[in-house]
Chain A
């Protein structure tokens, strides 16, 4: 503990504000015929989040800049966007993690209809999730106490319970870009969470759904989804586990 104290109490050099250029892909279908880039300059600290910069731009420069956000710290899944060409959460991406000497590009996630600026229509995404029956399926009456589940049984599906449905994975998937009918990584993650839950009895139905034309076999294991996931879920691995379960079912 003593070393930690020394480490933590050494005064850090005061962080410097810097002027950073944001290049944002704007689009309002009511006024624009096509999306267009617009640049904004904003003074930020290296530890500021991209979301902080967007909030400053909206508050101080252009109130019409439109994006979704809520919790501000990577839990609610509202602000997935394409930052410097990669899907990330704006509230979990700090300026210091980007090359701020060059303009930082921000655009809507791809593959879902762009509604306005950074806002897309999330409905097709949630529809795919609903279709995999993402809820506990059991038979008979609920017990009056908790169902017993061992620590090891609980561990099997722990990773996929972390999903916040931000769509960063699904909208980074080249298969999804070219075929919007594909369930996409998130829906498979949502199914995985129940298929491997020892309390659940609906795996066969879900595996049948995911064995369809637009199911797991469309996955080409490009790992884009795993790289994009802000929760660090091993998505490609989860999809492989579902594929194996389909084969063994």
Chain B
């Protein structure tokens, strides 16, 4: 075991983590721990754009952006946070441009902007051009630009270091951050990082679902680590399903395709969104479009041999526009479905995409341990956090904005705190929890190691570990029940089924073992740990969804079809004390500043 000491430790090297690192490393001794190489982070998969009311191509202002964000989030957004995000969006885009990001340009050479779902002029009058973009690879450009600037600033990375535990010091009563424990993938060695400030920027947990736009590595690690310390998670039942995943695969096709003029059609070719959102049609927020697509399929208007998807139609757009503005998604459709969007309709269906909930923070990204109090020295930003700027449904492009605005705030706040604080003492045996977890999974096997089997012994090496539970089997069963029972539409019955399945899988997980017993690059172990995190978060999602007997934003209950502001206009806070099985649900008031809840029509 090695011990390291830093002022600030950042967990995760996607957009939020690296944006934080650029601020923090200027002010304090900073390390970034990441289970992937930074450029592999899923920020790079974001496509369509990042909204900011630059008004480069038409009239716009950040107050409209604030309103759209709140309405898009079905009034579960904390309005002061949304205001901060919309206001600081403008500087966030300019910062990125100044750092070198190659945005698409207007004929005058300014940053070009395009339309996106739910972003409107003057409180819903019509779609507005607000999304700054670089073709359909805006996330890729953001990730590259931030990484390039981290190189410029000589930011210290620990690549393929998998953080598995948060260290808290409670010697002075209330908990404060003391550091983290990480597992070095290359060697199997355990490292303790003592730090004054810890920032979690570890992303989402889309892999609880089978059909998802998320990377294999998006397993909610940071959220689960914090939750295991008895700290709350907020609004976990709110999960976004992006309307246009490639049918059957879930690979994302940007909403920017509809921003460029793309149209959703059912089997008969009808532009069905006209019926669901007469004003902004295909550019309605994602939750509404996803539900509309499911509705079409359920009522027999789906396309394809099994009538189980709808079409994204780009065929009326000029080929040059598609090639220039949407090159990557065009290639995805060609590669994975053999369909050419220039001349053919693309089969699409909703795909699990984004967690609105996560680690609760205040507007300075400080992590809350209840509705009022923070954990000094602990911060969270990006998808793993819940500020909450997305409420019950995030608007397209607001995630790239979130990581930049709140990533920057986290970096500044964590460094400033560290510069005025002392290192908290480490617990007596800081690595014990991680050592025990690793040992249990690695050594819990009944069968001998398969890696010792030597040269080519055939295809049944796994049989040696017979009688134990396989990680891949449990993961598959979890993903199937979540897709079946806790997806776009939910009922008491389906959620109860999902919960029963998850409980059973959690029990099977205690008997799970891995085949790879080695120290070196043990990705078998990594996947087993990730599954443990996912099972906890799947349970939380379902319990929150069961408890919320209303429909709001991304949470649609068929047995409670309307929004119920009287009983449910509040955030869910879920807690579980270490070692206990019972999950306690509490509520937190939504912060309302100037927008009273209204009916959500588009």
Contacts and interface: CB of A to CB of B under 8 A. Distances in A.
Contacts of B41: 70, 76
Interface string B278-320: 0000000000000000000000000111000001010110000
B459 A148 contact: no
Contacts of B520: 28-30, 115-116
B460 interface: yes
Contacts of B331: 74
Interface stretch (B342-350, B374-382, B413-421): B342-350
A139 interface: no
A3 to B, nearest CB: 9
A70 B472 contact: no
Interface in B51-107: 93-94, 97-100, 102-107
Interface residues of B, number: 87
B456 A36 contact: yes
A102 B215 CA distance: 30
Interface string A1-44: 11011011101101000000000000011111000111111000
Q: How large is the interface on A (under 10, 10 to 19, 20 to 34, 35 or more residues)?
A: 35 or more
Contact of B523 (A14, A30, A66, A153): A66
Interface stretch (B161-169, B232-240, B511-519, B535-543): B511-519
Given A78-B36, A136-B100, A4 B315 contact: yes
Interface in A157-198: 157-158, 161-165, 194, 197
Given A60-B470, A64-B451, A70 B42 contact: yes
A146 B111 contact: yes
A146 B110 contact: yes
A9 B267 contact: yes
B481 to A, nearest CB: 18
Given A5-B345, A36-B455, A116-B521, A73 B251 contact: yes
Nearest to B523: A66
Nearest to A150: B109
Contact of B37 (A39, A126, A157): A126
Interface in B451-483: 451-452, 454-462, 470-473, 475-476
A38 B456 CA distance: 5
Contact of A41 (B335, B459, B473): B459
Contacts of B99: 135-136
B218 to A, nearest CB: 9
A92 B456 CA distance: 27
A85 to B, nearest CB: 20
Nearest to B108: A148
Main secondary structure on B side of the interface with A: loop
Nearest to A158: B102
Nearest to B470: A59
B36 A161 contact: no
Given A1-B315, A60-B472, A63-B462, A77 B514 contact: no
A75 B44 contact: yes
Contact of B102 (A29, A62, A143, A157): A157
A7 B216 CA distance: 33
A53 to B, nearest CB: 13
Contacts of B521: 66, 115-117, 119
A123 B97 CA distance: 28
A2 B520 CA distance: 56
Nearest to A24: B456
Contacts of B149: 135
B216 A69 contact: yes
Interface string B572-589: 000000000000000000
Interface in B206-223: 215-217
Nearest to B217: A70
B344 A4 contact: yes
A164 B140 CA distance: 8
Contacts of A146: 93-94, 97-98, 103, 110-111
A133 B470 CA distance: 46
B181 to A, nearest CB: 23
B98 to A, nearest CB: 4
B464 to A, nearest CB: 10
Given A64-B518, A147-B97, A135 B451 contact: no
Given A64-B515, A136-B100, A77 B39 contact: yes
5 shortest A-B CB distances, which residue pairs?
Answer: A59-B472, A136-B100, A63-B515, A148-B109, A64-B516
